[in-house]
Structure 1
């Protein structure tokens, strides 16, 4: 295991106590919406989703949803990185949107992080999303502590590959939240404008994206699957936000000697693949 110190144990979910739900337990699901082929080589602007409807489609109306996706450009008016934190609607509760989005600041090219509900309404996302859904109940979860990275793989990839090595051909999906408690991480944010020229490889995509180094504390929303059972899945996808104005797509930590992570996760009982692209490719998935 390429982390100096790693502990896995069952613990009580306390990280979510200040969020919209009491926890991340109860009828857990992973859902992947759309996919990178709806963004690259060229955007398909017909691909928009309503997370209240998605909750019903995964047979969990009222679900508490976390994850990573592309922002609802049809509502915002621009492209962005989206960090869904949503209590979806049910017969007894109105929906609440506690999501964040990060865009490239048009003034200086830096990160501009905003809470979605401060200016906008609705419960949408677009193009692609990897979601972890549950009843939002308290309960036992898997707590992971790690610090001092000694290998090349990032925090999420280490967990995913460890699970794959243990379970082999049996796919296992997980989600939840983790904190980067100390250190810095490499992130990216997509430009506000979709590319008018086809992006046909990872090199093209990396030239298009804006990359940043962001500083702890950072709240991360990972969704990962040990292996793809044949549904063209994005094996791991993590977005992050903070309370000091930084957010985006997580790549890896840039301070391996000082980084510290604390995470809470659960395996998903079911996987839902929604609106899978008919034509696909393998680039742009880092």
Structure 2
């Protein structure tokens, strides 16, 4: 391994991660023949095959898995080195990658904008996905930190509280149950529009109804809060959703919230980092900023116009 180059190792890692030479080349911004050549040179140097073909995709051989494990250790060491060097530069420049669950996009950009105005030399990259995708990004160091409502329990993380995150049930503005205090059981026959499995909102909804002793009738799974809101407005069903996603629609009377016993379900927003990851000064400053000033960017749900 002494004469293996970082370019060769990254070519192998990209093929294993994407499954194809073409996708790896696109990620590395090189040609497919260049990727093939790097891997062939690495295999010749090591004297062992590193990839096996499985249908139209590649997977690592036993030797390839050992090399990939070494590549991950190398990349982590380089990231730590970069963090140490950035620490010497202070907050005048740097880069922070931030992951956020899709529901957080209703307040996080405003918070990041305020941070960027304080530190204009720091570049911020955003990665948006559901909870499972953000946990995978944290685990693989795809992001420096993530903003989510329920930190992972299967990896060691440090978390800082941002503020409360209420969830409730929304309905069309002319729904017959508006203005009444109801039990969850009154919704047993209602049609529900739901986020996809793996979403934090979906998991919270399932727990709420399970504790209420009913099983919601999910007629449609939708991977976007915006689409869910439009579908509810169109009368396709009800939805269990974050209050932070609907403030504008409730305020102007396009959506309404049902008064259900046990709701709103209050969770919390956290900024999370992998415990073993050493943050750069810009990333550490952003964590501190979100913990200190994050609450002021959370949307406020005000009552909408009375039902017509």
Calculate the TM-score normalised by the size of structure 2. 0.18
Q: Which has the higher contact order (CA 8 A, sep 6+)?
A: 1
| Greater share of residues in strand | 1
Calculate the TM-score normalised by the size of structure 1. 0.19
Larger of the two Rg values belongs to structure: 2
